């Protein structure tokens, strides 16, 4: 906890919300995708195999190439032999990501999110703002690696991914005249817009741990913005599904932000004063945003007759 914040009177912080949003954070990622990092790095055992032609490249170029490989492929390459493992583990970005965000790596590998590389993930995690509003984006949308806040991923059309059937329908309408021989699914497959393969499980907001909508099958989910954009400005449909739509939650995971060139991470803070007053307990702040919030609405103090409850005092 940051000392500047700890010193504020009456400030209470929360790392857990009172409700469960059932995103990838709740998808048993540690069991599904146990990372072996560090387990096979015994330096006393000599390396038996090289990484093939890659080993002939200058180290700088090799690091540059490996940083540009998507993460599911990079982890597959890492499994080839001990030399490949040593190479991947020596990548500065990969190292920071596995150390601070193991669950995000697990999620990316589990849902086969392969539209971005290590460098993109590192750079995105070094930012704070939601990609579509001014709030702190405390989640990542893993179909194409964008920061997003709760309010945007449950409401904005672009964070509502399309199924294969829906995505291929966009390709049929525009391209069938030119490529009669190819089916819309084949054209979609060839175009390869960003997509993920969902995990079975419970999604959507629930007050109990067993709540949420159960999805039994894995489904491929396509980035709506990429599919629509690639077909020359077809308007997004008006959407009626928000917080009760499982597809909006299937590629979402909590994402703290990187500080000090990857040495520290910060998970963000809820405001205990607003939590009681407006029930906007989902708004998370960065340290700077929270101090600004206190300057505008007053510091948080314990309510006089209700111990354990907090509210904003008069603005400073
Ligand atoms: Zn937002
Ligand atoms: Zn507040």
User: Using CA of residue 152, residue 253, residue 19, residue 309, what is the dihedral sign?
Assistant: negative
Which ligand has the shortest distance to the CA of 158?
1
Highest mean pLDDT among 71-85, 142-156, 217-231: 142-156
CA of 150 to the centre of ligand 1 (A): 7
pTM to 2 decimal places: 0.85
pLDDT band at 307 (very low <50, low <70, confident <90, very high): confident
Highest mean pLDDT among 7-11, 34-38, 67-71, 268-272: 67-71
Quote the pLDDT of residue 179: 54
Quote the pLDDT of residue 14: 46
CA of 86 to the centre of ligand 1 (A): 38
User: By C-alpha distance, which of 285, 290, 187 is closest to 230?
Assistant: 187
CA of 102 to the centre of ligand 2 (A): 31
Decide: 183 and 170 in contact? Cβ < 8 Å: no
Residue 253 pairs in a beta bridge with: 140
As a whole number of angstroms, the distance between CA 75 and CA 72 comes to 5
CA of 268 to the centre of ligand 2 (A): 14
Q: Out of 44-53, 222-231, 300-309, pick the least confident.
A: 44-53
Which ligand has the shortest distance to the CA of 269?
2
Q: What is the pLDDT of residues 168-215, one digit of tens each?
A: 888 865 555 555 557 888 888 888 999 999 999 999 877 666 677 888
Per-position DSSP letters for 46-114, written without gaps between them: PP----GGGGGS-HHHHHHHHHTSBHHHHHHHHTS-HHHHHHHHT-HHHHHHHHH-HHHHHHHHHTT--
CA of 66 to the centre of ligand 2 (A): 43
Which ligand has the shortest distance to the CA of 133?
1
CA of 11 to the centre of ligand 2 (A): 10
Which ligand has the shortest distance to the CA of 148?
1
User: Taking ligand 1, which is a single-atom ion, which protein residues have CB atoms under 5 Å away?
Assistant: 130, 133, 135, 149, 152
- pLDDT at residue 232 greater than cutoff 50: no
CA of 185 to the centre of ligand 1 (A): 32
Which ligand has the shortest distance to the CA of 146?
1
- pLDDT at residue 287 greater than cutoff 50: yes
Please report, for residues 43, 70, 265, 286, 291, the alpha-carbon distance to residue 5 in angstroms, rounded to integers and kept in the order given.
43, 37, 16, 11, 8
Decide: 108 and 71 in contact? Cβ < 8 Å: yes
């Amino acid at each position: 906890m940051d000392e500047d914040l700890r010193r504020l009177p009456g400030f209470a912080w929360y790392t857990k919300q009172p409700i469960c949003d059932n995103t990838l954070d709740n998808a048993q990622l540690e069991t599904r995708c146990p990372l072996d990092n560090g387990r096979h790095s015994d330096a006393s055992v000599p390396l038996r195999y090289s990484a093939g032609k890659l080993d002939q490249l200058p180290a700088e170029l090799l690091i540059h190439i490996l940083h540009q490989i998507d993460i599911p492929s990079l982890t597959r390459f890492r499994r080839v032999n001990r030399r490949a493992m040593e190479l991947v583990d020596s990548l500065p970005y990969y190292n920071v990501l596995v150390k601070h965000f193991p669950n995000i790596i697990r999620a990316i590998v589990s849902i086969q999110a392969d539209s971005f590389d290590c460098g993109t993930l590192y750079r995105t995690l070094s930012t704070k703002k939601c990609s579509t509003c001014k709030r702190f984006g405390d989640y990542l949308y893993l179909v194409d690696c964008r920061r997003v806040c709760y309010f945007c991923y449950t409401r904005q059309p672009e964070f509502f991914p399309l199924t294969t059937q829906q995505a291929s329908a966009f390709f049929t309408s525009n391209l069938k005249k030119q490529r009669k021989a190819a089916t819309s699914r084949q054209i979609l497959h060839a175009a390869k817009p960003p997509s993920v393969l969902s995990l079975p499980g419970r999604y959507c907001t629930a007050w109990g741990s067993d709540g949420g909508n159960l999805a039994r099958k894995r489904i491929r989910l396509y980035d709506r913005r990429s599919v629509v954009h690639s077909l020359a400005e077809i308007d997004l449909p008006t959407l009626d599904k928000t917080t009760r739509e499982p597809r909006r939650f299937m590629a979402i995971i909590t994402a703290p932000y990187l500080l000090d060139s990857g040495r520290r991470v910060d998970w963000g803070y809820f405001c205990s004063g607003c939590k009681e007053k407006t029930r906007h307990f989902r708004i998370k702040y960065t340290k700077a945003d929270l101090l600004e919030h206190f300057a505008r609405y007053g510091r948080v103090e314990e309510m006089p007759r209700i111990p354990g409850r907090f509210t904003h005092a008069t603005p400073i």
